[in-house]
Chain A
Amino acid sequence: MELRELQGYASFFMTIFLVVMLYGYIIHLYRSEKKGENDYERFGNIALDDEISSDPVVPNPKAQKENEEQNK
């Protein structure tokens, strides 16, 4: 098999793999929301409620620890 041909096949199958991954991700997103594992839409609020004093949507435990230390 020629190198060029090999490239053709490699890219063809890799693409199919990528497409499957992408569709897998779509299914994952909608299923996990349906099952109640994660609500993705709430992340949209990160942009809307972005004052420095607002509560984070998902707090970063590391930063929280620092805050607690300061407030001691």
Chain B
Amino acid sequence: MQSNAALEYDYSVAKLFTYTTILFGFLGMLIGTLIAAQLAFPELNYLLGEYGTFSRLRPMHTNIVIFGFTLSGIWATFYYVGQRVLKVSMAESKFLMFMGKFHFWLYFVGALLAVITLELGMTQGKEYAVFEWPIDIVIVIIWVSWGISIFGLIGIRREKTLYISLWYYIACFLGIAMLYLFNNMSVPTYFATENLGSFMHSVSMYSGTNDALVQWWYGHNAVAFGFTVPIVAMVYYFLPKESGQAIYSYKLSLLSFWGLMFVYLWAGSHHLIWSTVPDWMQTMGSVFSVVLILPSWGSAINMLLTMKGEWNQLTDNPLIKFMVLASTFYMLSTLEGPIQAIKSVNAIAHFTDWIPGHVHDGVLGWVVFMIMAALFHMAPRMFKREIYSKSLMEKQFWLQTTAVVLYFTSMWIAGITQGMMWRAVDEYGNLMYSFIDTVAVLHPYYVIRALAGVMYLVGFIMFAYNMVKTMTASKELAQEPQFRSPMA
């Protein structure tokens, strides 16, 4: 070990994950925009033959955004924040340095394999858990190496107290580990027979209603522990750090944490309301979803109150804007979700575009905004250069904010309209609309949504450009900035 004076935080792993965050973010959003456009203009399905249909690209979009962009972002920030709040450098341990790099490269290879198998249509057929068993095994190893990094760093820490962000990172690690393992339990058919058929193929350990329960216990909570918990970890570090304001209330953050942990796992069955799972379980799903509003709002309110009296920073620093807007979209989606989980509302909302609308409030408004803000904050510190362009960042902010608003308003109206049309009866009590009527009416909303997608994608390209320029061409910094990130 070196002596403290010469010691610096080592960001090499954080940098690697930063690159993949940008790469996968671009890819995921590009495909997302394409499939949004396909719903409005079906001719776009035939650009790549068999491989370019909506159905083949949709899992590519979800998986690249979830397992490519978001996970990379989580890890980029973890390898940055983890060192800093524990006051220990990766450079202090050769082993941890190796694990970090191993983690990254295995992840990168795994991601390539995943993309290839998805394009070939190899799938378990479960949403957000599509990968076949060999890739699942790779994912487990990737996950374990992250665990070793987390607990390895904690093991050599100087700061005894674990900062709240780390609580959330640990919860993300444990939650996803448990959920992923149980949901992906399957039997490879190749080995259960005399090596018949495809090597990749497997059958789920669970069937029918049971499988649905496990799947949405996973599906809902993969969102919880992948899209909520680690992003809260980020906001709890980056907002105070960028603004120089301590969290409004540390205690509230602790309460919100345990509230979230207590409640989140129960809410999974709200994806199965009005299905064949037992009635009491559906009721539980509704009930806990509603209880979940307040722990989630606790974090969001805590963030907004942190900026209390800091209007100057909000108007002056686009990075703060990103984070404040992310917090408000977090409030919106954590209220919208529970209300959609109430049985009577769910009767309309389920199966309609209101649900993708809700998801994208959370993902576009909260997850992506927060990850971009985090990377912007990290860039001057990792690359020792100031952020390339403030005005570009401002423009990006307004463009993407408009895009999110267009997205969720169009899908909101589309979903409610379609849901009500499905139920509509004429004066004789017969169904008023055939299914295709309810599809045709959505066309204008799909066009608006595709447009919102293009706007958001352009905003992300502006972000990527700004980041690349920051890494390569921006003014060098002599000293690491303490709070506010310097930008030109």
Contacts and interface: CB of A to CB of B under 8 A. Distances in A.
A contacts B: CB pair < 8 Å? yes
A66 B161 contact: no
Contact of B159 (A25, A40, A57): A57
A3 to B, nearest CB: 10
B254 interface: yes
Interface stretch (B51-59, B65-73, B81-89): B81-89
Contacts of A15: 266
Interface stretch (B2-10, B17-25, B215-223, B393-401): B2-10
Interface in A46-72: 46-48, 50-54, 56-61, 63-64, 66-67, 70-71
Q: Dominant SS at the A interface?
A: helix
Interface string A9-53: 001000100110110011001100100000011111111101111
B1 A70 contact: yes
A45 B246 CA distance: 6
A18 B262 contact: yes
Interface in B239-297: 240-241, 244, 246-247, 249-251, 254-255, 258-259, 262, 266, 278, 280, 284
Given A11-B284, A22-B262, A66-B1, A50 B241 contact: yes
A48 B484 CA distance: 11
B156 A63 contact: yes
Given A33-B251, A41-B246, A52 B4 contact: yes
B322 interface: no
B57 to A, nearest CB: 40
Interface residues of B, number: 42
B163 A7 contact: no
B87 A50 contact: yes
Contacts of B156: 63
A18 B158 CA distance: 33
A40 B236 CA distance: 15
B160 A58 contact: yes
Given A47-B240, A56-B159, A4 B280 contact: yes
Contacts of A60: 157-160
B157 A47 contact: no
Contacts of A8: 280
Given A18-B262, A29-B255, A50-B85, A40 B250 contact: yes
A61 B161 CA distance: 11
Interface in B66-114: 83-85, 87-89
A46 B163 contact: yes
A66 B483 CA distance: 30
Contacts of A7: 280
A22 B85 contact: no
Contact of B160 (A26, A29, A56): A56
Contacts of B184: none
Contacts of A45: 246
B161 A48 contact: no
B237 interface: yes
A31 B57 CA distance: 54
A44 B241 CA distance: 10
Nearest to B247: A44
A1 B4 CA distance: 65
B4 A47 contact: no
Given A44-B246, A56-B159, A57-B161, A22 B240 contact: no
B259 A22 contact: yes
Given A18-B262, A47-B236, A47-B240, A53 B251 contact: no
B4 A67 contact: yes
Contacts of B241: 47-48, 50
Nearest to B4: A53
Nearest to B259: A22
Interface of B: 1, 3-5, 7-9, 83-85, 87-89, 156-161, 163-165, 236-237, 240-241, 244, 246-247, 249-251, 254-255, 258-259, 262, 266, 278, 280, 284, 483
